[in-house]
Amino acid sequence: MRILLTGGNGFLGHNLIGALIDRGHEVQAIVRRPETMKIQDAHLQVMKGDFLNYEELRAAATGCEAIIHAAAATDMALSYDEFARVNVGGSQNVIKVADTLGIDTIVFISTANTIGYGTPEKSADENAPMEFPFTESYYAQTKARAEQLFMDYASSGKHIVILNPGFMLGAFDTKPSSGRLIMSAYRKPIMLTPKGGKCFIHVKDVAAAAVEALSHGSNGERYFVGNYNLSLYDFYRLQKKVCGYRQWLIRLPDWMINGIGCCGDALEKLGLRTQVSLRNTRQLCVMEYYDNAKARRELSLGQIPLEEAITDFVRYAF
């Protein structure tokens, strides 16, 4: 199958290319800067273009049988309109191109933040509605709007599947993105940690689930893809064990974390861009614990050890 991939030069995108090629697919990736691609292969065609441009996206999708839409704006310093232009407008473009060319298979990569989080005692599944503080997140708000576009587009004869990944780690984290969590603590003698937690997953497991979703899963439904529910404190304990260094970990109270967020809000009011804001720091205080039973059952979600995800990132980054 020939697959159009958006976001191919990103963290998940690079891993998606590898997973698609390994399973015998041909990949057409549309990127604005082809020189940023870290993979070259006879089964990969890199096309220069912007998926926000309808004509360029249509040209890239011509001849494809399916689309994996992984591109997104993620910079937490962006305004709501900047997020919406990419995350909502880009999704509208993908749907318009698919409809024009008769492409009935789309896998949309969303985020776990559009699903209500659970607790250590009771993890949440895909049916949980989005909760505060993610209801205040511009990123989560616009991804939720994009999800609804794809759900509305799903109809008889189509195969539209939405994946909601947990916190991904692994190689090819080129910016880095989620790998900054590892870098922030790597070999530091003291690490201050928020009290929240996340559901971690090796990025290869997400990529494999996305490839599986091309032919499996239910039309118009969401699938949470994540594996390891851990507090940030316990994650950093695991990281120092895997990487072989000593570190003193200190949990910070929520009021201190959110006080830093308030300082960021003050900078925003002065017209300065910053990723530090109260709507973002509040997220660090939440236990984001999820249940992946649906993805394991219907998408054969794998479970690569978290230790391997940490090791793969460190080897790539350092």
Name the nearest CA neighbour of 210 among 19, 7, 1. Answer: 19
Distance CA 246, CA 37 (A): 36
Domains of the chain (ranges, CATH numbers): 2-317 (3.40.50.720)
Q: What is the pTM of this model?
A: 0.95
Question: Is residue 243 within 8 Å of 310, Cβ to Cβ?
Answer: yes
- pLDDT tens string for the chain (318 positions)? 999 999 999 999 999 999 999 999 999 999 999 999 999 999 999 999 999 999 999 999 999 999 999 999 999 889 999 999 999 999 999 999 999 999 999 999 999 999 999 888 889 999 999 999 999 999 999 999 999 999 999 988 899 999 999 999 999 998 899 999 999 999 999 999 999 999 999 999 999 999 999 999 999 999 999 999 999 999 999 999 999 999 999 999 988 888 888 887 777 778 878 878 888 888 888 999 999 999 999 999 999 999 999 999 999 998
Distance CA 87, CA 262 (A): 26
